[in-house]
Amino acid sequence: MQQLCGHIVTIKDKSRDAERVVVGMTRDIKSLDAAKRNVTVAITVTRRLGMLTAAVKQLRAHAAQKEYTQISPMLQAINQLELHFRSYRNVPKVAALLSSLRVVQADLQKQILDLFDSSFTSQAQLQPGVNVEMLGQAAFVMDALDDSARQQLQNWYCSLVLREYRTIFNGKDELSNLDNVPRRFAWLKRYLKVYDDDHARLFPAHWAMDHRVATQFADETRTGMALAAAGAASKPLLKTVKAAVDMEQYLAQRHAEQPPVSLAAAIEPFLGVYLDAEEKRVAEALGKAMARGLAPDEGNPAVLASATDLFLLYKGTARDGREIVAREVGRRCGGAHGQVPRPVRRGA
């Protein structure tokens, strides 16, 4: 029995020794796995660092030759590689490489802006003999750089296009009044034709540069229209609203996939002048009809003579007040001012 107990103790000791050996081996295996992962990461980072270094060098060379066709896809690859080094920015070699990349990108951005600036006249017309294909490729490079580069080129182009418009229509001369608002819209239509013929191929389609220009045009035009509308007579107001609604519809058809451009909203706060004039005209017509009494119409004795005149008046008012004005007239006549009177009929 004593011998059996001794064997059991021996077996337990050997089991503990074996367990310690297994634990040690497991720890060593884990260390080897961690080392392997670290080596793999180091190899991957080193390889990517080499790729990024070579890409920056090639980018600098292509930029010097203005080879924009090769630059666009290269920038996309560089942007993907750069993502892997965000956590290594404190490493001196990586920081120096990324700083060098920023310098190349900034120089490239300035180079393209200068290229566009030298390719256009001050009237936003392309210079004779300009390389349109190169400009289009350069715009795609700006699109691949970053948001700020893209916005800088977009803002430059919009400002260039609208420079002439601001000079002509934002002054204090006769073109700043409501009677000439249709000429503002005619200017925009002329520009859009130039864009379709000459400028559309210069920019990526998803930029929708013509819509950007139209939106800025609308922002500035609404301001000018609002200033001119203050104190304007009813007829110019109505004419302006009609022209603005027509232009909105034209732009909505042209830019069906873009946010709508608002123009007529600038006049809506001043429509009280038009509505007051219409109310006065209707009141005068009603006064004349009441003064004529219940005289029947010569062609139709069942209808009062005043009915035809009033019907034609209401019809003209409704026609002139369609779109925005119609909504305002309906709100006002159906609200505080009651319903629009109906033509007087005999026996009513």
List pLDDT tens digits, range 131-154.
Answer: 999 999 999 999 999 999 999 999
3-state secondary structure 9-76: HHHHHHHHHHHHHHHHHHHHHHHHHHHHHHHHHHHHHHHHHHHHHHHHHHHHHHHHCCCHHHHHHHHH
Tell me whether residue 127 is in a domain.
no
Assigned token pair, 2: 């004593």
Number of separate helices (H) and strands (E) present in the chain: 11, 0
* Residue 214: pLDDT over 50: yes
Share of the chain above pLDDT 90, in %: 43
How sure is the predictor about 241, in pLDDT bands with cuts at 50, 70 and 90? confident
Residues 261 and 277 grouped into a single domain: no
Residues 258 and 325 grouped into a single domain: no
Task: Write the pLDDT tens digit of every residue in 250-293.
Answer: 999 999 999 999 998 888 777 776 666 667 667 767 777 666 66
Tell me whether residue 243 is in a domain.
yes
Residues 249 and 287 grouped into a single domain: no
Residues 235 and 312 grouped into a single domain: no
The total of structural domains in the chain comes to 3
Tell me whether residue 135 is in a domain.
no
Residues 245 and 284 grouped into a single domain: no
The arithmetic mean of pLDDT across residues 65-85, rounded, is 91
Tell me whether residue 347 is in a domain.
no
Residue 209 · residue 198 · CB < 8 Å: no
Tell me whether residue 201 is in a domain.
yes
Structural domain span for residue 207: 146-266
What mean pLDDT, rounded, does the chain reach? 80
